[in-house]
């Protein structure tokens, strides 16, 4: 197979992987474009420009450019030293563990804090009302408490990427 054909097939499979990861992270509150860009930048040996990403993903600069700014604000990617003043190039943050923790801190913790506050307010004002099922109110409170606890457990881990493996090892250990 010629080098150019091999490169085109490789680019197509990376494009598919990027868009699949984009679909996955939509469930985390990001847009598909964020995951697609991050995958391209993360796997690249060299920093990429908006033009590079436009070509690799087959998407418009108008879609990619603001997404790059958003990814930088979440510290998923960062600007790298550029070859000239006109071109911005991006590399992925190396420490995925810290990136995930940062996102959990600034987004999920904030959401859970708001949910906890709103639930507390609801319970004070409406919690004893005959209109609501007390068992379900208590169950919802337990769910919110559990979500807060799980978040704190995750944030307390030194290495979030190792955490699932640690849980698996502990599960298989004799008791």
pLDDT in tens, 69-110: 999 998 899 999 988 888 999 999 988 889 889 988 988 899
- Asked if 73 and 146 sit in the same domain, the reply is no
pLDDT tens string 55-66: 999 999 999 999
Same domain, 110 and 131: yes
Residues 6+ apart with CB under 8 A from 109: 151, 155
CATH number, domain containing residue 52: 1.10.10.10
Domain termination residue (choose one: 69, 92, 115): 92
Nearest to 46 by CA among 74, 83, 71, 17: 83
Tokens describing residue 16: 């598919």
Same domain (yes/no): 88, 7: yes
Q: Both 7 and 83 in a single domain?
A: yes
pLDDT at 29 (0 to 100): 78
Whether the per-residue pLDDT at 9 is higher than 80: the answer is no
- Find the domain containing 108 and state its range: 96-172
Which of 92, 124, 143 terminates a domain? The answer is: 92
Q: Tell whether 85 and 12 lie within a shared domain.
A: yes
């Amino acid at each position: 197979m010629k080098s150019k054909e091999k490169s085109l097939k490789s680019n197509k499979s990376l494009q598919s992987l990027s868009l699949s990861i984009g679909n996955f992270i939509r469930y985390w509150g990001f847009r598909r474009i964020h995951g697609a860009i991050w995958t391209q930048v993360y796997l690249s040996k060299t920093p990429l420009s908006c033009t590079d990403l436009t070509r690799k993903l087959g998407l418009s600069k108008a879609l990619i450019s603001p997404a790059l700014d958003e990814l930088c604000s979440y510290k998923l990617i960062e600007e790298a030293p550029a070859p000239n003043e006109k071109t911005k190039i991006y590399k992925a943050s190396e420490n995925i563990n810290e990136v995930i923790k940062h996102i959990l801190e600034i987004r999920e913790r904030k959401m859970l804090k708001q949910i906890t506050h709103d639930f507390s307010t609801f319970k004070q004002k409406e919690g004893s009302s005959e209109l609501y099922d007390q068992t379900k109110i208590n169950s919802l409170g337990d769910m919110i408490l559990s979500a807060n606890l799980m978040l704190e457990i995750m944030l307390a881990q030194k290495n979030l990427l190792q955490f699932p493996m640690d849980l698996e090892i502990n599960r298989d250990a004799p008791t």
